[in-house]
Structure formats: C-alpha cells, structure tokens
A and B are shown apart, each in its own frame.
Chain A
C-alpha cells in the first residue's frame, strides 16, 4: 500500500541554522509533491509544490528537492526563526488524490 514516512521525532534546532526535513514514500508515483505547515489546532497552510520533473524549488527561505529515484523529498528552511516552529506535512498527489504524511514537528530555539 502507499506509504509516506516523515520523521516522527521532533526536530530541534537553533535560530539561524538551516532546518532539513525528510519525506520518503513507497508504492507511489506522484505527479506532485507538496509541503504544508500546520500549527496546533489549525488547518494546514500550503507552502510549496514541486512537480515530478522538477528537481528543486525555492521560495524565499524555503527550498524543496524531489528525487523520484530515491522516492524522497527534502524540505529546507534557511536562517530559521522561532516563528518557523510548527509541524510540516508532506503530501503526494497522483491522479486526483492527495495523501498526507503525519508530519514532523520543528522547534526553533532563540
């Protein structure tokens, strides 16, 4: 069955450092991969979308890579800030269906 794995352990980093989150998937060939941010008790907020034929996408301090051979995406936040603390969800879209990972909790310490 289709499976998305995100590191269930929280990631703790110091302000100013680069946070790197990983998303691995199996038994799936997504056309798109997306990253969302979710704060406690709130709905997810769309951050970035990358297509299967794209290797990398950037938006301000965010960078996403997509390796369809490794079946992996990396999500980077450079110059991290305490306000970046949240849960980050990886989502894969194939056909008209999107499945979500459980998310990785990021804590950025001042």
Chain B
C-alpha cells in the first residue's frame, strides 16, 4: 500500500520550454502533497506544500510563477516548470501523506530527472 507514482521518470527539454510533472497517490487519498528538488549528494529541498483544492505554500526563495503547482484532487498534484533553464535541471521528487494514516509519514514518488539543454 501507500504507493506514489510520478510521470515522467525523466525528461529532456530545451531552454525556454515548459515541463509538467505529475504526482499521483495510487492507493490512498493524500491529505497533503510536497514537492522537493534534490541536487547530487545534497539533501531534499522542500519547494512547496500543497493541499487539495487550495493554493500551494511555497518555501522562501522558490518562485511561484516559475514552479506552478496544481493540486486538483486528493490523488493528483502537478508541478509545471515554466520557461525552464539549464539551472532548473535537477531531480524533482513528490511525496504525500495519507489522510487516514500517520500524517507525518511521507510516501515518496520515484522522482523525475529533468535535464534542460
């Protein structure tokens, strides 16, 4: 149980284009979904927290107009990287907490490797 999927698993795009990443909770309803970015050999950096039906809360230093988050349902959140640039290349990981379980245990997706050329 508690499976989170992400799509795509990897994507290569040209500078200036936008990329959408989907995060789905497959067998549970997610109270909250989180979006992280991870650079090689570094810790997960929280970008934003989103609750279904409400606006995402962004961490300091994260541009909300560049990283658009939509949490349309209790099982789906999307992250759109708009006008991507090479410095946006990173490993993006989403996680979710189960509405009916321990709210502090996060279930992570497999991650999406974004490369901007």
Contacts and interface: CB of A to CB of B under 8 A. Distances in A.
Nearest to B34: A98
Interface in A86-110: 89, 91, 93, 96-103
Contacts, number: 52
B104 A49 contact: yes
A93 B104 CA distance: 7
B105 A34 contact: yes
Contacts of B107: 46
A32 B105 CA distance: 10
Contact of B43 (A49, A96, A102): A102
B8 interface: no
B42 interface: yes
B106 A98 contact: yes
Nearest to B112: A43
Q: Give the interface SS of chain A, mostly helix, strand, loop or mixed.
A: strand
B104 A34 contact: yes
A49 B102 contact: yes
B25 interface: no
A44 interface: yes
Interface in A67-103: 89, 91, 93, 96-103
B64 interface: no
A103 B39 CA distance: 12
B93 A32 contact: no
Nearest to B59: A97
Contacts of B106: 34, 44, 46, 91, 98
Contacts of A96: 32, 49
A43 B104 contact: no
Given A34-B104, A46-B105, A49-B105, A100 B110 contact: no
Contacts of A89: 43-44
